[in-house]
Amino acid sequence: MAPMGIRLSPLGIGVFCLLAAGVIYHLYAGVLSSRFASFRQKSTVDLRDLLALSIEAAELGGQEVKRIREDDTLEEKTKGKTKEGASELLTKGDLNSHRKMFYLIKNTYPLIQVNSEEHDNAEGEATIWTRNIPKEILEKVLDGKEVSADRITVWIDPLDATQEYTENLRKYVTTMVCVAVDGDPVIGVIHKPFTGYTAWGFVGEGASVAPRASYNTNSPKVIVSRSHSGTVKKFAQTAFGNNTEIIPAGGAGYKVLALLDLNDEEQEKADIYIHVTFIKKWDICAGDAILKSVGGQMTTLKGEEINYTGPEGNTGGLLASIKTDHKDLVFKCICWISNIS
């Protein structure tokens, strides 16, 4: 045997091999365990993080909406017809905002369901969340809340009020993100691209907005869609009296903000928001969550809660209010529910 050499018997070699195999097994098992733990972690989502991400997504999409409108490069076209026969418009602003918003959320949380008003075949954006949580959120939402990713549905509207966008009626335009858990609206974000204002609400946790001091339901101001304000006027005056004032407006996000206490001269103020025809869930989910976060309600005209899973459409009309007897408003609407298309 060489002076510095080590000579092992066949039994020794066997023991050495077993020991080496054990070490390798434990190292490999540790790697696998780490990877599985990482996978388990990604299968849940912290809702406070998702709120911050939703705000960033809405604002990122809003930057595209604003830039394209100011550059006058809308590339407007018709993508179809509404159930009422009106043209549904599509612009470059819609599509660019969709890409920014959709891929920012999907790249961050690949396991959650994200539903967007727009779809395109372009290559995905390599956008990544900054993981920045605004100070206001940290102050109002003190703790995170983990939820399984398969319970979450995100609804995004990359450009609400496209018709008004093409008409350069900028005050009506918003971008919106909503997070529903088990079908219930929990987080809502409405962003105004041309002023930079963002409203958010997290049900049971806090909000960046508040209700006004009082609301008038005896001679209310009712905000409705510009496209069928004449029809709704007849219904609303039947329900609430001839002194009811109708405010025609564009964009579901803008109409919800009209019910809140905002320091915005361009933002009209209303007591009730009514919609009597078919409407998509990405139009209303964010507003529903924000209203609920400050004690308001959004239901169908029959007073039913809206479920934000399944099909994209809501066929039961819409009634939104805050700091009022919502059941009484529903009762007053019963006389014209049969007119909902």
Buried/exposed 208-220: b ≥16 CB within 10 Å, e otherwise: bbebeeebebeeb
CA distance 225 to 240: 18
- Annotated binding-site positions for Mg(2+): 117, 157, 159-160, 283
Helix (H, G, I), strand (E, B) or coil at 285: helix
Element (H, E) at 248: strand 245-249
Helix (H, G, I), strand (E, B) or coil at 268: coil
Query: What single DSSP character describes residue 149?
Result: G
- Annotated binding-site positions: 117, 157, 159-160, 283
Residue carrying structure tokens 């509404």: 82
Residue 242: which residues within 8 A CB-CB, separation 6 or more?
none
Q: Measure the N-to-C terminal CA separation of the chain; round to a whole number of Å.
A: 97
How many CB atoms sit inside 10 A of residue 166's CB?
Answer: 15
Task: Determine contact, residues 260/208, Cβ cutoff 8 Å.
Answer: no
CA distance 217 to 214: 10
- Give the sheet arrangement for strand 174-181, strand by strand: 113-116, 152-160, 174-181, 184-192, 197-202, 206-207
* Sign of the C-alpha dihedral computed for residues 237, 240, 246 and 252 taken in this order: negative
Nearest alpha carbon to residue 156 among 131, 203, 191, 193: 191
Query: What single DSSP character describes residue 311?
Result: S
